[in-house]
Structure 1
Amino acid sequence: MESVSEASSIRTNNRIYELRAAGLDIVTLSLGEAFFDLPTPSFEGMPGTQIHHYSHSRGVPLLRQKLAGYYETCSGAPVDPETEIMVTAGSKAAIFMTLTAMLDPGDEVIIPEPLWVSYPDQVRLARGVPVMTPWYEQVGDLESYITPRTRAIIVNNPHNPSGRRLGAVEMLSLHEMAEKHGLFLISDEAYHEFVPEGEVFVSALEHDPEKRHTIVCNSMSKNYGISGWRIGYLIADQHFTRQVIKLQQHMVTCAPTILSYYLAENFEAILDHTRPQIRRVVATRNRMAGLLADRGVQCLPGDATFYLFASLGESRLDSTEFAERLLTRYGVAVVPGAGYGASCDRFVRVAVGAETEDRLVRGMHALADLVEATR
């Protein structure tokens, strides 16, 4: 465990919670979730004899059915709710169980930077070796990192922290690599609803409907502004899910039953309620990117999620020093880019899902002011 780091974004936000509890006014651009207007859930009418007890380890059957149909609609790939999907306590658990099930000690996993902060340490916890690639490498460049020990490639699509979406050509290239070298493609699609209005998300399953090598991990709680509910899911072929369910049974037994029933019974209503708010936060993200660009602060290309990966430009500070000074002098919290990979220390992650527009604007100007002040 000494070789495993804390998740940098969560460490940052734990500090922000403490500062706000002490009465400080912090513009929170570090929090990796969207705050939506959501009704207080009512559990009236739920099956009282079941919601307080264990459910099937694969997940509540009705929720699996709803998720299978939903993913078939957005990917075109059929999903068998009985054998190819498992509901988990958040998508983090789905990713960790996936890695634990597939890796032997010393197996390598290719992780493009900027990476999601938990990928490398989850690989290490699964006794594997993370192989990170610099942020400027293209999808086609990943093949040069493949060795006889490579077992998988992880992609986050749409991407945290840049907001970039992988296109169909890039996704097809990843599938060809997986087929050619006998690899798994792990596609973390936890932000797949957060795309601009009128744009289409391309799931990894679209090019591998038989799930020969593709494992999709996703999150209901992240996509619908209920991150504290911890409801995620995994989609893979029946042979892989048959192995992963053993980990579920030994670690947590099942995802939270009462919340799973609520989400199953209110599946369509939740989508109808949150989708307009999702479109608004994505539009806000792109307005804030424009504001930063007008102030001379460039971000990595992207138009999805509620994240920006902002360059520090000519600032003499590294990302950790920059984030600390932004917090202590301006009362604005961002996450240092160093947590997203060794090549990313000239960036900070900015999240726009937890603040009002006027406070977001205040935070963007503070960030640009500090870049200018530390040239």
Structure 2
Amino acid sequence: MPIPRHASLLDSLAEASSISHNNRVYEMQGDGADIVTLSLGEAFFDIPVPSFDDLPQAKIHHYSHSRGLPLLREKLAKYYELDCGLPLDPETEIIVTAGSKAAIFMALSAILDPGDEVIIPEPLWVSYPEQVRLCRGVPVMTPWQDSVDDFASYVTPRTKAIIVNNPQNPSGRRLGVDELRRLHELAEQHGLFIIADEAYHEFVPEGAEFLSVGSFDPHKHHTIVCNSMSKNYGISGWRVGYMVAHQLLIDQIIKLQQHIITCAPTILCHYLAEHFETILEQTRPQIARVVSMRNRMAGELASRGVACMPGDATFYLFASLGKSRLDAEHFTEELLRRHAVSVVPGTGYGASCDRFVRISVGTEPEQRLLRGISAVAGLIEETS
């Protein structure tokens, strides 16, 4: 009897390298191994176990509005205008999603026809190319050395969008005023969408300025902003994100939301809406500490002769392997085998990044973090 086969498209997709790598770490830890884990894409904060007692008990266990709870949309709208300079209508220009990853995928689904191209600058977040492929589009990657001024050379008649991560995972780099202006000029000149993934916008050093991509297109003619409450506030497992876009596009994306997930998790959205300000008060001091730690660890690496790709935000470092004989994949394997330290190989962030590894400073106490940083620098020295 013939066995039905999965869609051939899936054969062309790779696993998400960071997630696949961390699944292996979970398995090793389950077997009793003590792994200094510098590979997780999240920050661990001291957050009280939530109580749902003050929430509307008749509503929290049921479906909610597929655009998102009205109160949560109102608070997100005020928050984004205050923090990011982007005014938006909570009734028509925002949708709450099950994580920012779902928001990006629905945005791509809404704008791409088969064969459309999407420009993706490296280092890229590992899911961008695969999500474009899932939407029957063609990812066009640009090497990490390219600037915004170089993007125009990748535009073809099939180009539909550019994806930018700001601040960038894994380098921590923030786009500046001139770069953002040129990016929007390119979009306007060629009729392109800009999908701005701003899931780390809270992870900016104290006193530094964050410029939202959307603030340069206040009428949202061509900009789609995707963001994450769960990533920014140390509750990644809650899977709550949101998207900001023009009403006409949101009205189309709501169809995808309704047919794929119905609504974001109702009970968690009620909690976030009712405790929005408290969560900010609890997490922002901890965000400041982890960003400060990130930049101190960059100094530790520099003192050992290890350079990182320029950036100062997020809780990641994208460390160069310098003169090591090992490429990123082999370096990661050796680091885990010899020193029980896990980092993520740079190859997952684009072909031009095979001489880098991603280090996360968000999940280990300082002494274990220093131990891991020392192991990275030491292995580079040993293999050079």
- So what's the TM-score if we normalise by structure 2? 0.97
Q: Aligned ranges for residues 224-373 of structure 1 at < 5 Å?
A: 224-373=233-382
Runs of at least 4 residues off by over 4 Å: none
CA deviation after TM superposition for structure 1 residue 89, in Å = 0.2
Deviations 1:98-131 (A, max 9, x none): 0011000000000000100000000000000000
CA distance in structure 2 between the partners assigned to 1:145 and 1:279 by the alignment: 37
- Candidates 123, 148, 151, aligned match of 1:114: 123
Deviations 1:132-152 (A, max 9, x none): 000100111111111110000
- So what's the TM-score if we normalise by structure 1? 0.99
**8 A contact 2:86–2:212 mirrored in 1:** no
Q: Aligned ranges for residues 1-375 of structure 1 at < 5 Å?
A: 1-375=10-384
Aligned-pair identity (%): 71
CA deviation after TM superposition for structure 1 residue 21, in Å = 1.1
CA distance in structure 2 between the partners assigned to 1:31 and 1:61 by the alignment: 33
CA distance in structure 2 between the partners assigned to 1:372 and 1:45 by the alignment: 56
Deviations 1:40-92 (A, max 9, x none): 00001211111000000000110000001101112222111110000000000
Q: Which runs of 5+ in 1 are unaligned?
A: none
Give the partner amino acid of 1:189: E
Q: The residue matched to 1:190 in structure 2 has which SS?
A: coil
Give the partner amino acid of 1:24: A
Deviations 1:179-220 (A, max 9, x none): 010000100000000000111110012111000100000000
Give the partner amino acid of 2:44: F
CA deviation after TM superposition for structure 1 residue 281, in Å = 0.2
**8 A contact 2:320–2:355 mirrored in 1:** yes
CA distance in structure 2 between the partners assigned to 1:154 and 1:250 by the alignment: 25
Q: The residue matched to 1:87 in structure 2 has which SS?
A: strand
CA distance in structure 2 between the partners assigned to 1:103 and 1:259 by the alignment: 31
CA deviation after TM superposition for structure 1 residue 326, in Å = 0.1
CA distance in structure 1 between the partners assigned to 2:31 and 2:41 by the alignment: 21
CA distance in structure 1 between the partners assigned to 2:269 and 2:190 by the alignment: 38
CA distance in structure 1 between the partners assigned to 2:83 and 2:191 by the alignment: 26
Q: The residue matched to 2:55 in structure 1 has which SS?
A: coil
CA distance in structure 2 between the partners assigned to 1:270 and 1:186 by the alignment: 27
CA distance in structure 2 between the partners assigned to 1:209 and 1:236 by the alignment: 10
**8 A contact 2:121–2:143 mirrored in 1:** yes
CA distance in structure 1 between the partners assigned to 2:148 and 2:38 by the alignment: 29
Give the partner amino acid of 2:309: L
- RMSD of equivalent CA atoms: 0.5
Q: The residue matched to 1:154 in structure 2 has which SS?
A: strand
CA distance in structure 2 between the partners assigned to 1:196 and 1:46 by the alignment: 34
Give the partner amino acid of 2:148: V
Q: Which runs of 5+ in 2 are unaligned?
A: 1-9
CA distance in structure 2 between the partners assigned to 1:173 and 1:332 by the alignment: 40
Deviations 1:148-178 (A, max 9, x none): 1000000000000000010111111101100
Deviations 1:2-44 (A, max 9, x none): 1011000000110111111111110000000000000000001
Q: The residue matched to 1:2 in structure 2 has which SS?
A: helix
CA distance in structure 2 between the partners assigned to 1:359 and 1:112 by the alignment: 33
CA distance in structure 2 between the partners assigned to 1:343 and 1:272 by the alignment: 39
CA distance in structure 2 between the partners assigned to 1:201 and 1:55 by the alignment: 32
Q: The residue matched to 2:335 in structure 1 has which SS?
A: helix
**8 A contact 2:161–2:195 mirrored in 1:** yes
Query: Across the two proteins, how many residue pairs are aligned to each other?
Result: 375
Q: The residue matched to 1:360 in structure 2 has which SS?
A: helix
CA deviation after TM superposition for structure 1 residue 300, in Å = 0.2
Deviations 1:294-353 (A, max 9, x none): 001100000000000000000111100000000010000000001110111000000000
